[in-house]
């Protein structure tokens, strides 16, 4: 079955709320009224604004110092991916003549030029935050990021020995001359451009030395002068200061060992970013696994899209790199050393609790906590009595979702497990549970999305491991990524078969579940069980006419279902009935959905949007979006949950859905996504409170204005700090009785 089969044939179940647009004259008139051409913010520039918000956290001196260093690393890593995927894709479309004018009205060339100008500005600011603020603050705490010349003789001698033992054997100098063409420069690698000369002839030669990516980015030298990887360091002030030397500095000082008999005249650091997006033409691929493996091989040789150079690079070396790499001058970013500040993650990992957020470990959800016995909670027994709404990382993933699947694997009454895997960790207990279940003779289906960007190779490895254990592994529907987060367990009970389900907003990844804010529903509701059974049958076989009761499923019904509900709120408001709309998402880009929100706002419906990343909506524009408010929350956890809430005056109570879909074209048109309607009134109230807290003027957040500018609001009128939403939720979790953890 193909993606087009799904779009053509998939239908929803019985109507459960909003009517059809056009039934009301006032709504008809509103729908017919044209919207202004300049109503959308540019997607790419909005993403850069999101990364600027990350940078603002690094600039915030009230935050723990090592966390500020972490935000600098996150900013750099985010920007790397943006260039590898978004900028690379835009350049490719321009080159092939496939680029079209953006919804913002900017031409492809205008977007590319605007990206270049904004990225230049942000990257310079990023470097300045490090050199002028974070680095001096680290120095004051005894954490010294230094150059070779800043070290004492004893420290230098120990580093020389370390270089000879641990670094020199790994290095490979590559000369450039008529017999040696300009070498391939791998994406995101840090390199030294070296100029050497032959003393006999005086002739200069160019060479490239790659800084090995598997070695530590910074070499630590403790107070006693012993070099090591930063991960082994505590940077304990009681033991004296610790110095960290960039790996490229250590290599640069010893370049003569790589070119014996030559004179090293100069060296400069540079870094290349390449197009690393993956494209697989599935309709022509007999085996998607093999096609993906070939494409991953091709990815290594994608064209360059950005060249970073040290700002003191010699002009002739810069010109040589530009010419040989085939980049344009506008794609060159000259920055202060050190380049590649993603390496600051090593510094942020230092064991200095006084410079980090207070350690937090999520507790067991109160309904899953066994209070009278040391035995593990019978999760199936709990779900037989009630649904459980999980909020990670405040609710432990290990004692909820992970335990649910582990119990299913071990329970002899469980007959089948069906599971989607989009991203998971390298030592995933989820995968182990699926393997255990298969080896115990249960029917196990794993839908592995091997096109999950930058996790493709890991997912191929897991797919093969699962297959070898007897798990039925499938790769979903041709033409669509399977992004939904679903588990289905079928269990034999005294009164027949019962289905237990998990529908989530985040990946089945125990590591990121401690860092990402996500929601999940554990339930044995028969309607949800029936919906998941039908959807898994559609994903693994041929079931294009599946009908769903509590699910909206992309690409067929998420967009249409949300637009119907938005229009229903618009109609209710026009008729004088209560109406409001509240969303929490990662990104809002889809024009059809945004236009529906604009129509609702024109009618006067209050619309609240909590958007972590990209937002194409322009709130507060007179006559267009005066009733729309947009907030963004960033913090120690990555806000990742998606919530869609409606007043639903036509029903008995507000309607709230959670799920995997963002409001982007890729989610609504090119992915299998699910939203599930929350049934428990207490859970609805809990989610509405989360949305209220997120939008509250008492909560620290960024506010988006009609001019596309994000303004941070983190202090009150008297300068007092506003409440941090994540810290508030951490405090609530810590106040739970100990027996519930």
Residue 9, pLDDT > 80, answer no
Q: What is the pLDDT of residues 556-585, one digit of tens each?
A: 899 999 999 999 999 999 999 999 999 999
Beta pairing, strands 204-210 & 173-176 = antiparallel
Q: Return the pLDDT at 1.
A: 52
Q: Return the pLDDT at 294.
A: 54
Beta pairing, strands 655-659 & 472-474 = unpaired
Q: Return the pLDDT at 180.
A: 67
Q: Which regions of 186-317 does DSSP assign to beta strands (E)? A: 190-197, 204-210, 218-221, 227-228, 242-246, 263-274, 304-310
Query: Are the C-beta atoms of residues 471 and 432 closer than 8 Å to each other?
Result: no
Query: Are the C-beta atoms of residues 279 and 295 closer than 8 Å to each other?
Result: yes
Q: What is the pLDDT of residues 19-39, one digit of tens each?
A: 444 446 777 888 788 899 999
Of 240 and 109, the structure prediction assigns the larger pLDDT to 109
Q: Return the pLDDT at 285.
A: 38
Of 291 and 689, the structure prediction assigns the larger pLDDT to 689
Query: Are the C-beta atoms of residues 554 and 563 closer than 8 Å to each other?
Result: no
- Catalytic residue IDs: 483
What residues contact 196, with CB distance under 8 A and at least 6 apart? 204, 205, 207, 255, 259, 262, 263, 264, 265
Taking the alpha carbons at both ends of the chain, their separation in whole angstroms is 45
Residue 477, pLDDT > 90, answer no
Token pair listed for 386: 């009630």
Q: How many residues does the chain have?
A: 741
Average pLDDT, the chain: 87
Q: What is the pLDDT of residues 619-634, one digit of tens each?
A: 999 999 999 999 999 9
Average pLDDT in the 706-718 region? 94
Average pLDDT in the 270-279 region? 79
Structural domains of the chain sorted by starting position, each given as residue range(s) with its CATH number in brackets: 17-34+553-740 (3.30.870.10), 44-355 (3.30.1840.10), 379-549 (3.30.870.10)
Q: Return the pLDDT at 292.
A: 47
Token pair listed for 504: 């989530």
Q: Return the pLDDT at 286.
A: 44
Lowest-pLDDT range of 97-101, 150-154, 210-214, 408-412:
97-101
Of 53 and 172, the structure prediction assigns the larger pLDDT to 53
Give the number of C-alpha atoms closer than 13 A to the C-alpha of residue 556, restricted to the C-beta side: 22
Q: From CA 492, how far away is CA 463, in angstroms rounded?
A: 28
Q: From CA 352, how far away is CA 356, in angstroms rounded?
A: 7
Residue 371, pLDDT > 70, answer no
Q: From CA 661, how far away is CA 669, in angstroms rounded?
A: 11
SS3 323: helix
Query: Are the C-beta atoms of residues 45 and 710 closer than 8 Å to each other?
Result: no
Q: Return the pLDDT at 291.
A: 53
Confidence grade of residue 376 (pLDDT, cut at 50, 70, 90): confident
Q: What is the pLDDT of residues 63-76, one digit of tens each?
A: 999 999 999 999 99
φ/ψ of residue 59, rounded to 5:
-80, -15
Q: Return the pLDDT at 18.
A: 45
Q: What is the pLDDT of residues 46-56, one digit of tens each?
A: 999 999 999 99
Going by C-alpha positions, the residue among 455, 391, 468 that lies closest to residue 424 is: 455
Give the number of C-alpha atoms closer than 13 A to the C-alpha of residue 378, restricted to the C-beta side: 8
Please give the DSSP secondary-structure letter assigned to residue 184.
Answer: P
Confidence grade of residue 370 (pLDDT, cut at 50, 70, 90): low
Residue 365, pLDDT > 70, answer yes
Give the number of C-alpha atoms closer than 13 A to the C-alpha of residue 669, restricted to the C-beta side: 8
Confidence grade of residue 451 (pLDDT, cut at 50, 70, 90): low
Token pair listed for 279: 């494209």
Give the number of C-alpha atoms closer than 13 A to the C-alpha of residue 118, restricted to the C-beta side: 20
Q: Return the pLDDT at 182.
A: 83
Q: Please report which helix (H) or strand (E) contains residue 502, including its range.
A: strand 496-504
Residue 284, pLDDT > 60, answer no
Query: Which residues share a beta bridge with 728?
Result: none
Beta pairing, strands 710-713 & 481-482 = unpaired
Crossing angle (nearest 10°) for helices 429-439 and 456-468: 20
Q: Return the pLDDT at 684.
A: 97
* CA angle at 559 for the pair 555 and 563, rounded to the nearest 5°: 160
Provide the 10 A C-beta neighbour count for residue 321: 24
Average pLDDT in the 599-619 region? 97
Token pair listed for 220: 């630590």
Handedness of CA 289, 292, 294, 300 (dihedral sign): negative
Give me the residue label for tokens 């997607």.
Answer: 43
φ/ψ of residue 259, rounded to 5:
-130, 60
Q: Return the pLDDT at 682.
A: 96
Give the number of C-alpha atoms closer than 13 A to the C-alpha of residue 379, restricted to the C-beta side: 28
Residue 206, pLDDT > 70, answer yes
φ/ψ of residue 549, rounded to 5:
-100, -55
Q: Return the pLDDT at 3.
A: 52
Residue 338, preceding peptide bond in cis (omega within 30° of 0): yes
Give the number of C-alpha atoms closer than 13 A to the C-alpha of residue 506, restricted to the C-beta side: 24
Residue 298, pLDDT > 60, answer no
H helices within 215-342, ranges in order?
A: 247-253, 288-299, 315-325
Q: From CA 425, how far away is CA 238, in angstroms rounded?
A: 36
The distance from CA 27 to its chain's CA centroid, rounded to whole angstroms, is 38
Q: Return the pLDDT at 459.
A: 60
* Radius of gyration of the chain, Cα coordinates, nearest whole angstrom: 28
Query: CA torsion, points 421, 426, 427, 429, in degrees to nearest 10?
Result: -20
φ/ψ of residue 555, rounded to 5:
-90, 5
Q: Return the pLDDT at 458.
A: 61
The distance from CA 642 to its chain's CA centroid, rounded to whole angstroms, is 13
Residue 393, preceding peptide bond in cis (omega within 30° of 0): yes
Query: Are the C-beta atoms of residues 158 and 227 closer than 8 Å to each other?
Result: yes
Confidence grade of residue 405 (pLDDT, cut at 50, 70, 90): very high
**In the chain, what percentage of residues exceed pLDDT 90?**
66
Top-confidence range, 168-182, 281-295, 484-498: 484-498
What residues contact 341, with CB distance under 8 A and at least 6 apart? 72, 73, 75, 76, 126, 127, 130
Q: What is the pLDDT of residues 631-674, one digit of tens each?
A: 999 999 999 999 999 999 877 789 999 999 999 999 999 889 99
Beta pairing, strands 642-646 & 655-659 = antiparallel
SS3 648: coil
Q: From CA 211, how far away is CA 192, in angstroms rounded?
A: 7
Q: From CA 420, how far away is CA 487, in angstroms rounded?
A: 7
Q: Return the pLDDT at 16.
A: 41
Confidence grade of residue 227 (pLDDT, cut at 50, 70, 90): low
Average pLDDT in the 357-382 region? 83
Lowest-pLDDT range of 28-32, 189-193, 385-389:
28-32
SS3 6: helix
Q: Return the pLDDT at 21.
A: 45
Handedness of CA 49, 55, 57, 60 (dihedral sign): negative
Average pLDDT in the 530-559 region? 87
Token pair listed for 316: 């002739």
Longest Cα–Cα distance in the chain = 92
Query: Are the C-beta atoms of residues 508 and 520 closer than 8 Å to each other?
Result: no
Top-confidence range, 204-218, 479-493, 675-689: 675-689
Q: Please report which helix (H) or strand (E) contains residue 630, including its range.
A: strand 628-632
Q: What is the DSSP string of 366-418?
A: TTT--SS-SSPP-HHHHHHH--EEEEETTB-STTTHHHHHHHHHH-TTEEEEE
Average pLDDT in the 136-156 region? 92
Q: From CA 455, how far away is CA 507, in angstroms rounded?
A: 12
Confidence grade of residue 92 (pLDDT, cut at 50, 70, 90): confident
Of 93 and 675, the structure prediction assigns the larger pLDDT to 675
């Amino acid at each position: 079955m193909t993606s087009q089969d799904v779009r053509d044939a998939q239908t929803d179940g019985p109507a459960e709320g909003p009517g059809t647009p056009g039934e009301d004259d006032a709504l008809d008139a509103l729908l017919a009224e044209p919207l202004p051409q300049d109503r959308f913010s540019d997607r790419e520039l909005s993403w850069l604004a999101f990364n600027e918000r990350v940078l603002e956290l690094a600039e915030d001196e009230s935050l723990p110092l090592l966390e500020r260093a972490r935000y600098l690393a996150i900013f750099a890593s985010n920007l790397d991916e943006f260039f590898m995927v978004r900028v690379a894709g835009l350049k490719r479309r321009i080159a092939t003549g496939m680029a079209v004018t953006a919804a913002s009205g900017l031409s492809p060339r205008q977007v590319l030029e605007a990206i270049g100008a904004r990225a230049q500005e942000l990257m310079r600011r990023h470097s300045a935050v490090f050199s002028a603020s974070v680095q001096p603050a680290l120095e004051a705490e005894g954490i010294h990021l230094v150059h070779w010349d800043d070290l004492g003789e004893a420290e230098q001698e120990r580093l020389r020995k370390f270089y000879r033992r641990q670094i020199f054997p790994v290095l490979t100098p590559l000369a450039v001359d008529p017999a040696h063409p300009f070498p391939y420069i791998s994406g995101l690698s840090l390199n030294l451009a070296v100029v050497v000369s032959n003393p006999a002839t005086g002739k200069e030669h160019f060479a490239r030395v790659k800084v090995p990516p598997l070695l530590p980015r910074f070499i630590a030298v403790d107070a006693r002068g012993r070099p090591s990887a930063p991960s082994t360091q505590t940077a304990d002030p009681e033991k004296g200061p610790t110095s960290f030397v960039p790996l490229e500095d250590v290599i640069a000082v010893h370049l003569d060992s790589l070119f014996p008999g030559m004179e090293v005249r100069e060296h400069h650091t540079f870094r290349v970013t390449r197009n690393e997006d993956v494209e697989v033409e599935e309709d022509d691929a007999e085996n998607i696994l093999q096609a993906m493996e070939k494409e991953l091989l091709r990815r290594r040789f994608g064209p360059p899209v950005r060249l970073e150079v040290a700002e003191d690079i010699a002009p002739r070396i810069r010109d040589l790199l530009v010419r040989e790499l085939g980049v344009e001058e506008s794609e060159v970013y000259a920055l202060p050393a050190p380049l590649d500040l993603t390496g600051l993650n090593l510094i942020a990992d230092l064991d200095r609790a006084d410079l980090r957020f207070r350690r937090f470990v999520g507790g067991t959800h109160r309904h899953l906590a066994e209070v009278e016995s040391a035995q593990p909670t019978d999760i199936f027994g709990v779900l037989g009595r009630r649904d459980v709404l999980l909020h990670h990382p405040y609710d432990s993933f290990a004692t909820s979702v992970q335990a649910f699947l582990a119990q299913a694997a071990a329970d002899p009454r469980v007959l089948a497990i069906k599971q989607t895997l989009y991203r998971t960790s390298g030592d995933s207990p989820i995968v182990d549970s699926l393997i255990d279940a298969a080896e115990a003779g249960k029917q196990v289906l794993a839908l592995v999305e091997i096109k999950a960007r930058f996790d493709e190779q890991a997912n191929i490895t897991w797919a093969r491991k699962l297959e070898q254990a007897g798990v039925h592994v499938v790769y979903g529907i041709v033409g669509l990524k399977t992004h939904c987060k679903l588990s289905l367990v079928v269990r034999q009970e005294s009164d027949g078969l019962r289905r237990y389900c998990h529908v989530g907003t985040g990946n089945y990844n125990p590591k990121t579940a401690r860092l990402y804010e996500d929601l999940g529903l554990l339930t044995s509701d028969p309607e949800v069980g029936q919906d998941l059974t039908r959807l898994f049958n559609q994903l693994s076989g041929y079931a294009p006419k599946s009908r769903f009761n509590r699910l909206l499923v992309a690409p067929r019904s998420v967009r249409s279902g949300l637009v119907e509900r938005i229009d229903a709120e618009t109609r209710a408001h026009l008729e004088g009935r209560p109406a409001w709309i509240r969303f929490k998402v990662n990104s809002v880009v889809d024009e059809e959905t945004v236009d529906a929100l604009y129509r609702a706002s024109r009618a006067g419906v209050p619309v609240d949007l909590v958007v972590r990343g990209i937002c194409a909506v322009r709130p507060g524009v007179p006559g267009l979006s005066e009733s729309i408010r947009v907030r963004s929350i960033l913090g120690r956890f990555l806000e990742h949950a998606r919530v869609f809430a409606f007043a639903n005056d036509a029903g008995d109570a507000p309607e709230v859905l959670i799920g995997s879909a963002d409001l982007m074209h890729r989610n609504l048109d090119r992915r299998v996504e699910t939203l599930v309607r929350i049934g428990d009134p207490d859970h609805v109230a809990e989610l509405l409170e989360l949305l209220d807290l997120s939008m509250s003027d008492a909560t620290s957040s960024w506010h988006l204005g009609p001019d596309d500018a994000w303004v941070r609001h983190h202090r009150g009128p008297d300068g007092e700090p506003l409440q941090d939403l994540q810290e508030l939720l951490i405090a609530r979790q810590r106040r739970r009785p100990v027996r519930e953890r």
